[in-house]
Chains A and B, each alone.
Chain A
């Protein structure tokens, strides 16, 4: 079955470390997105990409970096510059230039905790 796989499910980071969250999709979607969710709050867009080797900053890109070397993969690196990285991170994908009635397909998320 097609879908989005995020790994790991739980991640612990020491202060000052960079960590990379994986996101892979086999839906042949052109667009991929990373969102951050803090407890009891909505989703905020970190980065998104509509095509390989191109991506745009979202609303809260500071302290994060991404790459899009393959259509299927959109990893997110949380750098040491991100002062408060503890959060739930969701990856999503969608087709482009099609009328879809479901918005995005989401992964199951990665819960990152700074220790």
Chain B
């Protein structure tokens, strides 16, 4: 069974600084996908970034980058130049298989509450 672990219940960062949110995962599959979502206080889930297990380069999307270390089974999210609007809950998630298949489903971590201070 796959498992996602986010060990930081809460993180604080100063505006304009970078912050790393940790995520480790456990799976016996060779092929899988890793996701990060942002959840503001309104409750909606906003997709941020995706990393496939066979992708050789770390994913980047604007100010978000994913530090993927396959051997260590970690997929940390790095947010550069934090903004006040980045304050939210952040979830790491994993899907078995890089392709959507019948029966594939996302498993979520417990989340990290990020607070950006002015």
Say whether, besides A42-B111, A43-B108, A48-B105, A97 and B100 are in contact (CB < 8 Å): yes
Q: Say how far A110's CB is from chain B's closest CB, in angstroms.
A: 9
Check: A50 CB closer than 8 A to any chain B CB: yes
Q: Say how far A21's CB is from chain B's closest CB, in angstroms.
A: 14
Residues from chain A with Cβ under 8 Å of B33 in the complex: 101, 103
* Count of chain A residues with a beta carbon within 8 Å of a chain B beta carbon: 30
As a 0/1 sequence over residues 81 to 96 of chain B, the CB contacts with chain A under 8 angstroms (1 = contact) are 0000000000101010
A111 and B52 CA atoms in complex are apart in Å by 33
Check: B50 CB closer than 8 A to any chain A CB: yes
* Count of chain B residues with a beta carbon within 8 Å of a chain A beta carbon: 28
Check: B25 CB closer than 8 A to any chain A CB: no
A-B contacts, 14 of them at CB < 8 A, read A33-B105, A33-B106, A42-B91, A92-B45, A94-B100, A95-B100, A97-B99, A99-B100, A100-B100, A102-B35, A102-B47, A103-B37, A104-B45, A108-B42
Q: Write the residues of chain A forming the contact surface with B, with a CB cutoff of 8 angstroms.
A: 31, 33, 35, 40-45, 48, 50, 58, 88, 90, 92, 94-104, 106, 108-109, 111
